[in-house]
Amino acid sequence: MTRGGRTKDRDEPERRCIVTGESKPRGGLIRFVVGPDAVVVPDVAGKLPGRGMYVSADRSAIEQAVKRRLFSRAAKTQVTPPEGLADQVHDLITRRVIDSLSLARKAGKAVAGYEKTRDWLQKGDAKVLIQAHDGSERGKTKLRAPEGDKTYIGCLSAGEIGLAFGREHVIHAALAAGGLSKRVVEEAAKLARLRERDGGVTAGED
């Protein structure tokens, strides 16, 4: 089973990455705009005014865009990327994943803890299994992700998952189907690539 694979959604608008030249769905890209004083601003929510410049959700791609001055080329004027732009994007996407997971919890679309997660998986209520990358490997193997595409998230730490549930740390969690869950999955896929970590958003385990 291929990890990190993604199925192209033909209904999703595509944009071109200014680094690779590839056109891909916006869900796999980070949008940037030119802000005050001609400074490059990451627009992780995709809502800021101005012409968007898109870079693949990948740390090396963002670093290349800065190094090769591709933002200025795309903007057709001299612009200045802030120091540590890739780190800034990473932190914004991390917060977005945690906030989205928290919203799913408040909407009754997410549960945490081994017992509740296992119960949802057994009843078929869970569409996505979330497990902390710093949790016990032995403990994590006791739960299996649902079958299908993009059913496992493994790029978050126990502390980060815990923030979404108002706890100190959480190893196991589950998401039900729905728009909020789709947002968590999409943002977590970006975060996994930014962290250059396997165990991001994957297909279910055999």
The pLDDT value recorded for residue 155 is: 97
DSSP annotation string for 132-163: -TTS-HHHHTTS-PPSSSS-EE--S-HHHHHH
Domains and CATH numbers, the chain: 14-83 (3.30.1230.10), 89-202 (3.30.1330.30)
pTM above 0.85, yes or no: yes
* Rounded-to-integer distance, Cα 127 and Cα 119, Å: 12
pLDDT of residue 13: 83
Q: Is the pLDDT score of 1 beyond 60?
A: no
In the structure, what pLDDT confidence band is assigned to residue 11 with cuts at 50, 70 and 90?
Answer: low
Nearest alpha-carbon partner for 13 in 26, 29, 32: 26
pLDDT of 4 over the 90 cut: no
Q: Work out whether strand 53-56 and strand 40-43 pair parallel, antiparallel, or are unpaired.
A: unpaired
Whether residue 18 has pLDDT greater than 90: yes
pLDDT > 50? residue 115: yes
For the chain, give the mean pLDDT: 91
Tens-place pLDDT, residues 123-167: 999 999 999 999 999 999 999 999 999 999 999 999 999 999 999
d(CA 66, CA 87): 12
